[in-house]
A and B are shown apart, each in its own frame.
Chain A
Amino acid sequence: MSVDREALAVAYRLHYPAVVRFLAAFGGGSVDAEDLAQEAFVRLGRPGADVPADRVRFWLIRVARNLALNELRRRRPAASLDDADEIQDPAHDPETALLSRDALKSCAAALQSLPEEWRSMLLLREIEEMSYAEIAAMLGVSAAKVKSDLFRARLRMRELLGRKS
């Protein structure tokens, strides 16, 4: 049984921005976030993709992440982070109003330098606001590993960005 068209349309409306957001941060400009997000939705609509309604978002992000990993492995080395259009103009977001564009680029570069699994965990936690259990289920690891790796990822980011960044 597959996801019917109406459910797919609802899922698209609800989750497309989150999937694109995750892919864009995860790929750091090295993948076409919108293309891969659409591919994830195409797969959701395929016969056999029987996904419970409350798991659709996780399913989509997991599929999108796998698509991005395949793309990144195919297209190494990573593209430059000079594509300024990929980074939100801080002037439009009060939360980041104090961050300069250079700081955003530094952050993106630091994120890309993390091991892929740490990067996934950090994005799923900080941007998608998933719990350790959800992240663990998505990545197929234990919650204890998520806890430990997230801590290490944060320490690495702190080191890369400067302690008082």
Chain B
Amino acid sequence: MSCGFEEEVSALFDGELPEGDAARVRAHVASCASCRELLGDFESVRAQVRSLRVTTSWWRRRVSIPLPLAAALALLVVAAPFAAYRRAGPPRVAAPQTVVRRAGSGLLAQYDGGGRARITVRPKAQAR
């Protein structure tokens, strides 16, 4: 059954009534179970409508990249490893390498692959 206040209750709910009218409607609501129920229903509708706020999933979010730029980027991603391989050649394996040189009588210089030298002194007979 209508009490005639329903539309005013909606406006009260929105905070759109002038203070004098708001006080009058609030007083009515306090004594009207139907209007209190209506307010609860409006609150429920509001909560459900607000629940429809959309999230844009990251995988659906589109980034606008001009087509030529997108093509160039794709090419870069595919071609970069090949270009790097061609420039550098096959990967080097740091094989240990020792070069022994006679550095005068009794002196042996052992060079490893990294260019470091280890000098040892040995008896003349052994050095040969």
Contacts and interface: CB of A to CB of B under 8 A. Distances in A.
Interface of A: 20-21, 24-25, 33-34, 38, 85-90, 92-93, 95-96, 99, 103-104, 107-108, 111, 122-123, 125-127, 131-132, 147-148, 150-151, 154-155, 157-158, 161, 163-165
B47 A96 contact: yes
A147 B52 contact: no
Interface of B: 6-7, 10-11, 14, 16, 41-42, 44-57, 60-62, 64
B45 A104 contact: no
Contacts of B51: 88, 90, 93, 95-96, 99, 104, 107
A108 B55 CA distance: 14
B16 A147 contact: yes
Question: Which among A150, A154, A155 has the highest number of chain B CB atoms within 10 Å?
Answer: A154
A52 B117 CA distance: 78
Contacts of A164: 44
A20 B56 CA distance: 9
B76 to A, nearest CB: 27
Q: What 9 pairs across the A-B complex have the smallest Cβ distances?
A: A24-B54, A96-B51, A151-B10, A107-B48, A126-B49, A151-B7, A157-B45, A158-B41, A88-B55
B49 A111 contact: yes
Nearest to B37: A163
Contacts of B7: 147-148, 151
A26 B41 CA distance: 22
A142 to B, nearest CB: 13
A86 B46 CA distance: 19
A85 B60 contact: yes
A29 B89 CA distance: 53
